[in-house]
Amino acid sequence: MCELLGMSANVPTDICFSFSGFLHRGGGTGPHRDGWGIAFYEEGGYREFRDPHPSVDSPIARLICEYPIKSNVVISHIRQANVGGVRLANTHPFTREMWGRPWCYAHNGQLSDWQTLPLGVYTPVGNTDSEHAFCWIMGELRSAFPTPPAAPEALWEMLHALCEQLRGQGVFNLLLSDGVYLYSYCSTKLAHITRRAPFGEAELSDAEMTVNFIEHTTPNDIVSVIATEPLTQNEAWQRMEPGELLVWREGEINARYCPTPKPA
């Protein structure tokens, strides 16, 4: 299966440290050799890099490690292909526009009967279950909310219900953002950590690299990282519960939706 990496921060922050460990899982310490991608929301704009080659050998991935792009929201993905060939069109993250905003999405897992999900205004470019599910989610949200809802909680509740439906069709771990909120949904595996003052040292699990965050932050910084598996070996990551949706903004959890109770 694939792996996910996300970041939500209250100040523009680079993800060089976390991504340096993450990219090694794309064909180095992990089997995810079938492409990778990363997206940054920065100053009202959107920047994206995708590559159908293994991240561990990718010159573009090395550029990301060495070029500290400052962002409040980041979504990244390394792929182990299950559905759809290894090509750029099938490489995450995927992007669609809604309400004049770029919505970015990455998925880890595999779905059954995904072709039965009805599509509307959004259609896939590639041929993966992941992108099809994304187009279905976006179509359902846009149909229910032609304009941004006055109360975002209504959208969050519907998003959780849609994710729960997809969890019933297989494995569906998700990262999704509109540049303001970052949504993380756990079907099987997602973990997160929030770093704030007092900052300390962190040591990567997949690369020989240690950073002392106190040298790169201010006392007011809040940075949360979400990943399929913890990226550091000396920090206490929290694992999400299957069926749980977290809504992040500026490094903090704004809302939490718990698994839907199953009928007795």
Q: Which residues are catalytic?
A: 2
Choose among 85, 116, 122, 89: nearest CA to 103: 122
Which residue is listed with tokens 């297989």?
Answer: 170
Helix (H) or strand (E) holding 39: strand 36-42
The closest alpha carbon to 40, from 134, 177, 138, belongs to 177
For the chain, helix, strand, coil in percent to 5 are 25, 35, 40
List, in order, residues 6 or more apart from 57 with CB less than 8 Å away: 27
Q: Cβ of 121: how many Cβ atoms within 10 Å?
A: 11
Q: Torsions phi, psi of 83, nearest 5?
A: -120, 125
